[in-house]
Amino acid sequence: MILIGENINIMSLTIGPAFKERNPRPVQELARAEAEAGVDYLDLNIGPARKAGDELMTWVVNTVQEVTDKPLSLDTTNPVAMEAGLKVAKSKPLINSISLQPDRLGQGLPLAKQYNADLIALLWGAEGMPRDANERAMHAVNFVYQANEMGIPNENIWIDPIVSPVSVEINQVKALIEFMAMLADIAPACKSVVGLSNISNGTPAHLRPWLNRTYLVMMLKYGLHSAIVDAFDNDLMALVRGQKPEIVRLVHRMMDGEKPDLASLSEEEVKYAKTVRVLTGESLYSHSWLEI
Ligand code: THG
């Protein structure tokens, strides 16, 4: 699968100030480190970038391209900044993202067409967050239809069903898995992508990787194509590279209804098993879910 490193983002305590001061060093160090960790793309998240977003995006893209050839995911809601990034990106970039809000769609699709870029179709509707798997399906069909009308082929479309934090809405966590199982039928040849770390927003930092990794393995059961991830989570990288097949089997068997005896599992397997129970809604989320 394709991994997109999430780490260059304006919310980061080192990257935010570096963007502001146009200080290349922290940005380039992180870009190099993410590339070495083995991600396929680098997400460059400059946020809404309301003031001079085009200058910022141009600077970030050029700064990163000085140290790596990895393709870039241009992460901003500002269409002027997006176009500035598309102009300077060297390998085929990924527009992150275009939602179904009429103005976003109206400005985004022509950009994707003009620059022959891949694009993330964020399934955020005119009325906001989709409520269930069916609303996601409706949005996906609608998006693909409008993109095709513009001459954009399904192969260029990466569908993002929007991951919600498990500490906020377990029904949304379940609905996304349900949608993933439907996607290949609804939008053949389209790709899928998720912002994985959203699942653990609001969770204590040292526990976040368990939620991230387990949810990723759950989505892999339905052929997830790509994810925006923490490039420095080594165990996550190992799972994706097939280096932990026993964990993948355990998670998938539990999704099929098997209830393993925790006493028969290793300490690591117990953590994954408890996390599957939370992410399927079988146990209630609390910050101490791994201890009970
Ligand atoms: N879909 C798409 N794009 C996205 C998202 C999505 N882009 C943004 C986000 N969601 C994915 N990227 C991140 C990046 C960082 C974090 C979460 C998601 C994160 N960072 C830590 C924090 O904020 O506590 C650490 C910050 C740091 O680097 O210091 O949680 O869903 N298409």
Q: What is the DSSP string of 137-195?
A: HHHHHHHHHHHHHTT--GGGEEEE-----TTT-HHHHHHHHHHHHHHHHHSTT-EEEEE
Mean pLDDT over 166-171 rounds to 96
Nearest CA to ligand 1 atom 31: 195
pLDDT at 292: 85
Q: What is the dihedral of CA 222, 224, 225, 227, to 10 degrees?
A: 180
Q: Rounded to an integer, what distance in angstroms lies between the CA atom of residue 212 and that of residue 190? A: 23
Kindly report, residue by residue over 197-252, the tens digit of the pLDDT.
999 999 999 999 999 999 999 999 999 999 999 999 999 999 999 999 999 999 99
d(CA 266, CA 277): 16
Task: Using the mean position of ligand 1's atoms as its centre, give its distance from the Cα of residue 45 in Å.
Answer: 8
**pLDDT tens string 176-191:** 999 999 999 999 999 9
The sign of the dihedral angle between the CA atoms of 157, 145, 185, 98 is positive
Rg of the chain, C-alpha, whole Å: 19
Evaluate: CB of 76 within 6 angstroms of ligand 1: no
Q: Is the pLDDT of residue 8 over 90?
A: yes
pLDDT digits (tens, 9 = 90+) for 47-100: 999 999 999 999 999 999 999 999 999 999 999 999 999 999 999 999 999 999
* Fold adopted by 2-233: TIM Barrel (3.20.20)
Distance CA 136, CA 176 (A): 8
Q: Distance from the CA of 12 to the center of ligand 1, in angstroms?
A: 9
193-219 b/e (C-beta count within 10 Å ≥ 16 → b) = bbbbbbbbeebeeebbbbbbbbbbbbb
At position 256, the amino acid (one-letter code) is: D
**Cβ(10) to ligand 1 under 6 A?**
no
Q: Dihedral sign, CA of 170, 171, 172, 174?
A: positive
Task: Name the band, by pLDDT with cuts 50, 70 and 90, for residue 34.
Answer: very high
Distance CA 121, CA 154 (A): 11
Distance CA 225, CA 15 (A): 28
